[in-house]
Structure 1
């Protein structure tokens, strides 16, 4: 359960600029975060980077929580 709490804190921080509620973020991205980025929990910066790295593989609801990464790797 500790990992789940850390994951949620990391996702909330990572997606804070999106404007979605904590519950919306958790619902949209929890499964993807555990699937793609479980090894990065509880480091919120690494979770964020991992989720962005897997952007094209994320579920549509989770993908909607992130800005599409720039093709050249720069921040948008």
Structure 2
């Protein structure tokens, strides 16, 4: 039992690290770093569609791009550089 808990904590830690790093890689294509709001927008979609890619941030970004049509509106906007992304850039 303890191994399962430790494994679960390890996986959760890796997932959070991967999600945090997603936007460091994605920022190259967006020409800005991911804000907390942008990370929050895509976290559920990362777990839903791309959990097998965690913690490899390049593969997560590629996975999100492959599933663009299925993403939540907020994450789709972040990934495509839409209004939510522009709004967060303007707020800085």
Structure 2: 5+ residue stretches without partners: 1-11, 82-92
Name the count of aligned residue pairs: 68
Aligned Cα root-mean-square deviation (Å): 2.0
Counterpart of 2:25 (choices 3, 8, 14) is 14
Tell me the TM-score normalised to structure 1 length: 0.74
Say which structure, 1 or 2, has more relative contact order (CA 8 Å, 6+ apart): 1
Matches within 5 A, 1:31-42: 31-42=44-55
User: SS of the counterpart of 1:66?
Assistant: helix
TM-score normalised over the length of structure 2: 0.62
Give the direction of change, closer, same or farther, for the CA distance of 1:26–1:46 in structure 2 (3 Å limit). Answer: same
Greater helix share, structure number: 2
Q: Which runs of 4+ in 1 moved over 6 A?
A: none
Query: Larger Rg: 1 or 2?
Result: 2
